[in-house]
Amino acid sequence: MNDTHVTWQLGRGVGWRPQLDGAIARARGLGFIEVIAEAIGEHGLPAGVAAARQRGLQVVPHGVSLSLGGAERPDRRRLGHLASVAERVEAPLVSEHIAFVRAGGRESGHLLPVPRTREALEILAENVALAQEALPVPLALEHVAALVQWPGAEMDEATFVRELVERTGALLLLDVSNLFANAHNHGYDARDALERLPLERIAYVHVGGGRFRAGVYHDTHADPVVAGVLRLVEELLALTDVPGVLLERDDDFPPEAALAAELRAIAHAARRGRERRVRG
Amino acid sequence: MSADDRSSYAARQAQLLDALLRGGAPPAGFAAAEADAAGRSLRRKRDRAVARAWPALALQLGEEYEARFDAFARVVDAPASGDPLADGLAFARSLGRDVRLGDDARAELLLARAAIRRRGLFVRAAWLRGRRPRLLVVARLPRAGPLHVSVPAGARGRDGGGASC
């Protein structure tokens, strides 16, 4: 057990991508960026990331390939790389997913959900503990948006996530868009799930864009943030304060002004929630 | 958690992943529509990455691109590296004689082959007969990056020299 407490304030953030380098360099009011650990080489840092560090922004490495929810133990080389990136950017923490990305020697190319069972929880907890031992900083775990669900679930997602972070002492990377997607696609109440998640363990929050196609919400990170997600940001901040909120955009990059407007919309939603909480 | 538990868990994950990648029927208990949407989403993510790395090929295939890539992705896994350039090369090769590549896509193909080549010498030439006929020579020398030279056709007419792959 490695019970970590959040000691950082990150503020507003954007997921750093090469295509957003200029927009991030000129954005006002940013406190942090996130870098995809696998996109960073074995040595050094991309110039834009190094420049962000110099400007005083904090950098959080975000892993996408550990496959902590997979049947195999996390690969030492991948863990070593994540640890090395964390050291190079002097990260306060790193984050990864509650998901599997490979099985039977094949790569999925994206994050896939795990069964919400005691058995899966056991394997995940072991894998997370191995990762925590290999990492120089605390680990936050992100729940994923899942279009497909495993049969035989023994608990709901909020309970599963709570049990996992309580058992491992890991922190929670709460992705409001993933929560919105799962609640919409699998028919449950997002606000209710929010209240039952371990909000006291939030390391920071993700917000991403998406779109509805044939009634299904797709967490694309290639579209603007939808109104329902902004409302959920407000609901979250009405329940608790969070150390940071970060916008993820991975494709169909918007003009700089649109990105800035999106960051403002998220900040406004957060402020509305905070004001409701303070007023009581 | 014992090795046996892990191996049974591994087998179930591999079964689901296989169904999603192939676009086949999911294992018992899964909702078919959900698995179908998840599989499409995996293949779509892959096709967008390839389209970004292979803009001329995607442009040439136009509206057919998505369906052709989907058919390819159901039978051929992405390379373990996840590299969209290598994935697109396998896709371009899979098109075979079905699609006659235009000049831009042929040039893109040669440059990709040179960029992917890790060892040894690579030299290929393609005769591009578009609005500006030219001879494109692409090379990769040992321990160096890819180079390319484009020679305008001038008055000489020539045939052949197309990109082979």
Q: What tens digit of pLDDT does each residue of B11-40 get?
A: 999 999 999 999 999 999 999 999 999 999
Q: Please answer yes or no on whether A71 and B7 come within 8 Å at the CB atom.
A: yes
Q: How far is A216 from chain B (nearest CA, A)?
A: 9
Contacts of A112 in chain B (CB under 8 A): 13, 16-17, 20, 38
B161 vs A70 pLDDT, higher one: A70
Residue B144, C-beta contacts closer than 8 angstroms, at least 6 positions apart:
none
Residue B44, C-beta contacts closer than 8 angstroms, at least 6 positions apart:
B66
Taking alpha carbons only, the member of A226, A245, A228 closest to residue A237 is A245
Q: Please answer yes or no on whether A150 and B30 come within 8 Å at the CB atom.
A: yes
DSSP element (H, E) containing A95:
strand A94-98
Q: Are B162 and B136 in contact (CB under 8 A)?
A: no
B85-131 pLDDT, tens digit per residue, is: 999 999 999 998 888 888 889 888 888 888 887 777 788 888 888 77
Instruction: Please check whether residue A213 touches B, CB under 8 A.
Output: no
Taking alpha carbons only, the member of A59, A62, A64, A37 closest to residue A48 is A59
- Residue among A68, A119, A147, A216 with most chain B CBs within 10 A, to mutate: A147
pLDDT for B80 beyond 80: yes
Q: Please answer yes or no on whether A112 and B38 come within 8 Å at the CB atom.
A: yes
pLDDT for B164 beyond 50: no
Query: How far, in Å, CA of A248 to CA of A246, rounded?
Result: 6
Q: Please answer yes or no on whether B30 and A148 come within 8 Å at the CB atom.
A: yes
Given A107, A122, A147, which is nearest B37 (Cβ)? Answer: A147
Query: pLDDT below 50 — which residues of chain A?
Result: 1
Instruction: Give residue A3's pLDDT.
Output: 66
Query: How far, in Å, CA of A260 to CA of B86, rounded?
Result: 35
What percent of chain B shows pLDDT beyond 90?
53
Query: How far, in Å, CA of B111 to CA of B163, rounded?
Result: 10
Instruction: Please check whether residue B74 touches A, CB under 8 A.
Output: no
Summarize the confidence of residues B45-57 as an average pLDDT. Answer: 94
Give the residue ranges of DSSP H helices in chain B: 3-22, 32-53, 55-61, 65-75, 84-95, 103-116
Instruction: Give residue A2's pLDDT.
Output: 55
Contacts of B13 in chain A (CB under 8 A): 70-71, 100, 103-104, 112
* Half-sphere exposure at residue A273, Cβ-oriented, CA atoms within 13 angstroms: 21
pTM for this entry: 0.90
Instruction: Give residue A80's pLDDT.
Output: 98
Given A112, A126, A147, which is nearest B1 (Cβ)? Answer: A126
Given B1, B26, B35, which is nearest A123 (Cβ)? Answer: B1
Q: Are A126 and A73 in contact (CB under 8 A)?
A: yes
**Check: complex ipTM more than 0.90:** yes
The tokens describing A169, both together, are 């002492």
Phi, psi (5° rounding) for residue A202? Answer: -70, 125
Kindly indicate the confidence band of residue B155, based on its pLDDT and cuts at 50, 70 and 90: very low
3-class secondary-structure state, position A71 = coil
Kindly indicate the confidence band of residue B143, based on its pLDDT and cuts at 50, 70 and 90: confident
A226-269 pLDDT, tens digit per residue, is: 999 999 999 999 999 999 999 999 989 999 999 999 999 999 99
Chain A residue with the nearest C-alpha to that of B76 = A106
Query: How far, in Å, CA of A200 to CA of A240, rounded?
Result: 8
Radius of gyration for the alpha carbons in chain B, expressed in angstroms and rounded: 20
DSSP element (H, E) containing B128:
strand B122-128
pLDDT for B161 beyond 60: no
Q: Give, rounded to a whole angstrom, the gap between the first and last alpha carbons of chain A.
A: 35
Q: Please answer yes or no on whether B17 and A218 come within 8 Å at the CB atom.
A: no
Query: How far, in Å, CA of A89 to CA of A46, rounded?
Result: 11
Phi, psi (5° rounding) for residue A192? Answer: -65, -45
Contacts of A106 in chain B (CB under 8 A): 14, 17-18, 21, 77
Q: Are A204 and A193 in contact (CB under 8 A)?
A: no
Handedness of CA A140, A211, B51, A27 (dihedral sign): negative
**Residues of chain B numbered 9-38 and touching chain A (CB < 8 Å):** 9-14, 16-18, 20-21, 26, 28-31, 34-35, 37-38
Give the residue ranges of DSSP H helices in chain A: 21-26, 47-54, 76-88, 118-134, 157-168, 176-186, 190-196, 227-239, 256-279
Q: Are A47 and A34 in contact (CB under 8 A)?
A: no
Contacts of B21 in chain A (CB under 8 A): 106, 108
B148: left (phi over 0), alpha (psi -120 to 50) or beta: beta
Query: How far, in Å, CA of B26 to CA of A2, rounded?
Result: 38
Q: Are A23 and A256 in contact (CB under 8 A)?
A: yes
Contacts of B29 in chain A (CB under 8 A): 150-152
Q: Please answer yes or no on whether B17 and A104 come within 8 Å at the CB atom.
A: yes
Contacts of B86 in chain A (CB under 8 A): none
